[in-house]
Amino acid sequence: MSNSGKQHNTKTTSGAQQTIEELLKDYYENYKRVIAGGSEAAVALHRSRGKLTARERIDALLDKDSPFLELSALAAAGQYNDQFPSAGIVSGIGKVQGRYVVIVANDATVKGGTYIRETIRKHIRAQEIAIDNHLPAIYLVDSGGIFLPEQSRVFPDKDDFGRIFSNQARISAMGIPQVAVVMGSCTAGGAYIPAMSDESIIVKNQGTIFIGGPPLVKAATGEEVTDEELGGGDVHARISGVVDHLADDDLHALKICRNIVSGFHPSQPQMINRIEGREPLLPSRGLHKLAVNESGTLIDHAAVIEHIVDGGEFQPFKQEYAKTLITGFARINGYQVGIVANNGVVFGETSRKGAHFVQLCNFRKTPIIFLHDVTGFIVGKKYEHDGIARDGAKWIHAVSTSAVPLISVVTGGSYGAGNYAMAGRAFDPRFLFMWPNARIGVMGGDQAARVLTQLKKAKGKNGADLEAKSEEQLYKEIKARYDYESSAMYSTSRIWDDGIIDPANTRTVLSMVLDIVTQRQWPEFKPGVYRM
């Protein structure tokens, strides 16, 4: 969380296991790299045209000294030969005229601001956050549209490029304001971003909007026309009426945008139990020592809670029952929250305790913080006979139908159905963040490697076709692949989370997120049928 440039994400390398210090070093080095945007030549060309960079535009738009919660800053990292830093788009939440807004800013220094798969996922995720929290959306447009070499992966499907415009219509129908500021190219399908916004601004002699650019027009009709003649600021402000305001430059356009935001109808926030906040009992940097990166070693969530809640005060719920799950109430920056934190494998009684507590939070209109470090549900004949699937379903059901905001932080591992019960991505938490040491997958690397090695052996002649050496090699190869594909870096590159956060910033991020999720009234809790 920062003034656009200081919210840090990280890189996690495959291979040898890294210490938290090494992971944090990667974390900061990688964020420093991605905030630079495209190549030096591309940035220089961008500036020579009188343009601000994407993050400079965000800084100028935000209220002075307003924090900016950047989302998925390391999107696309490790993919496309690292040619798309931040997937060519900056998204996040900050305050404009004292009001939280979602901001999506194209970075034209990265392949002309064109869209790859991760760019689209990131843009759509920002819109989902606007919908879930009833936050106005501001689009700072400077994009060449779809990255054509990737067209088969970004155009035809349900959640591809067209979903952006479908979402704009839905956002508008919900009465959520949208403003587009055209500060460069706005081409092909991207032309619908300003056309579908409540109000649009364009920078003269810089912004352009057209369904088909001059080369396409010439190929289709033989007509020769310049960018400015076809769809420049004067055309759309004075002739077509596609935009509503004509700005002299970037700063003038952002000033107009701020003035528009000042006229938005006030939000209708959720009434919530909040008092004056207090500092935690323990310093935030102590969380670095708790962020273990060793297979089979549990995160000490009792200690984590002491570092993030007001005064270190925690009111446990069912403390003596089902001790592999910590549940209870606390305050974070004065906000009353429920906390669900793993303390081992999930048993039937763990599930029943989790379901009970999630229901309780819903009836009390209390948002829930999930701290993940879960290997999954217990397996074995006894537990199947006892109905572990039935009990697990209760907890998953309660989470799925929750009406209060769910906020997930993966502090360690988040595996299998344990991820589901702890409000993983498929269960629509309002936000999901990962520590740099965190892992997410169907199972841990060691467990997956052992299972798959056994299956491989079973396919041979009584298992004798694999010698000890080849069996060990197979195990190592499978484990290395699972460890890499379950890493925080792999996850955040693919927008499976909302970003990696420094453990020491956990309380700060949660405080801002709790402020954000109260900006709309929450629906009533309506659970379905529980198999008893």
| Residue 481: C-alpha distances to residues 257, 342, 378, 474 (Å) | 47, 26, 24, 11
Q: What residue type is assigned to position 382 of the chain?
A: K
- Say what the pLDDT of residue 470 is: 77
- Give the model's confidence band at 96: pLDDT under 50 very low, under 70 low, under 90 confident, else very high: very high
Model confidence, pTM:
0.92
- Say what the pLDDT of residue 468 is: 58
What's the average model confidence in pLDDT over 401-418?
Answer: 96
- Say what the pLDDT of residue 428 is: 97
Tokens of 161: 């490029």
Mean model confidence pLDDT for the chain: 92
463 has pLDDT over 60? no
- Separation of alpha carbons 153 and 354, rounded Å: 39
- Say what the pLDDT of residue 11 is: 42
- Say what the pLDDT of residue 16 is: 52
Tokens of 368: 């829930």
What's the average model confidence in pLDDT over 167-180?
Answer: 97
DSSP calls for 443-464? S-HHHHHHHHHHHHHHTSSTTT
465 has pLDDT over 60? no
- Say what the pLDDT of residue 2 is: 45
- Residues 36-66 have pLDDT tens digits of 999 999 999 999 999 999 999 999 999 999 9
- Say what the pLDDT of residue 477 is: 82
What's the average model confidence in pLDDT over 376-401?
Answer: 94
- Separation of alpha carbons 190 and 145, rounded Å: 6
Residue pair 88/52 in contact (Cβ under 8 Å)? The answer is no
- Say what the pLDDT of residue 466 is: 56
Hunting for tokens 């004075």 — which residue is that? Answer: 238
- Say what the pLDDT of residue 250 is: 98
- Give the model's confidence band at 447: pLDDT under 50 very low, under 70 low, under 90 confident, else very high: confident
- Say what the pLDDT of residue 306 is: 97
Task: Specify the higher pLDDT residue, 248 or 462.
Answer: 248
4 has pLDDT over 60? no
Residue pair 518/269 in contact (Cβ under 8 Å)? The answer is yes
First to last CA, the chain: 44
- Separation of alpha carbons 276 and 334, rounded Å: 5
